[in-house]
């Protein structure tokens, strides 16, 4: 389309002398194409779609507001619960267990570790 306008207006790169296009042809060539007509049914469908979209957005906004209120209530409840918990007591010193020296040659050995409450771990194969 643009190429035909260039030719009609004589703007080609040929070495020939450009021909002057008649004024009527130039006016027709530069006229903007007519806007396509909009189908009324398509317009109604578009309007319905936009209305549905607006409704959905309003529902999402309402849900977001409700969620924000619930979060605020949960945060307030969290603060109340934390305020009711007493401060931790300082740790008590752990008393070392009393050792009795074993009679005989075993007394030179290092004391045995207390028995573990965990089950023994079998050796790997």
> Cα(105)–Cα(89) distance, rounded to whole angstroms?
45
Q: How much is the pLDDT for 74? A: 97
Q: Is residue 63 part of a domain?
A: yes
Q: How much is the pLDDT for 90? A: 83
What is the residue-level pLDDT of the chain in tens, covering all 125 positions? 556 655 666 655 555 555 555 555 555 556 666 667 788 899 999 999 999 999 999 999 999 999 999 999 999 999 999 999 988 888 888 877 777 666 655 545 555 666 555 666 666 66
Spatial CA neighbour of 99 closest among 89, 91, 107: 107
Q: Give rounded-to-5 percent helix, strand, coil for the chain.
A: 55, 0, 45
Q: Domain check: are 46 and 79 in the same one?
A: yes
Q: Is residue 89 part of a domain?
A: no
Q: Domain check: are 24 and 46 in the same one?
A: no
> Cα(14)–Cα(22) distance, rounded to whole angstroms?
19
Q: Domain check: are 29 and 58 in the same one?
A: no
Q: How much is the pLDDT for 93? A: 81
Q: How much is the pLDDT for 122? A: 67
pTM of the model: 0.38
Domain that holds residue 56: 41-83
Q: Is residue 79 part of a domain?
A: yes
Q: Domain check: are 28 and 2 in the same one?
A: yes
Give the chain's domain count: 2
Q: How much is the pLDDT for 47? A: 96
Q: Is residue 17 part of a domain?
A: yes
Q: Domain check: are 78 and 51 in the same one?
A: yes
Q: Is residue 88 part of a domain?
A: no
């Amino acid at each position: 389309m643009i190429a035909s306008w260039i030719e009609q207006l004589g703007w080609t790169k040929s070495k020939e002398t450009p021909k002057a296009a008649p004024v009527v042809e130039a006016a027709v060539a530069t006229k903007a194409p007519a806007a396509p007509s909009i189908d009324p049914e398509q317009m109604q469908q578009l309007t319905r779609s936009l209305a549905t979209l607006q409704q959905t957005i309003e529902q999402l906004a309402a849900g977001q507001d409700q969620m924000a209120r619930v979060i605020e209530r949960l945060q307030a409840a969290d603060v109340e619960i934390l305020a009711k918990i007493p401060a931790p007591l300082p740790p008590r010193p752990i008393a070392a267990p009393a050792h009795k020296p074993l009679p005989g040659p075993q007394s030179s050995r290092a004391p045995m570790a207390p028995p573990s409450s965990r089950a023994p771990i079998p050796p790997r194969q």
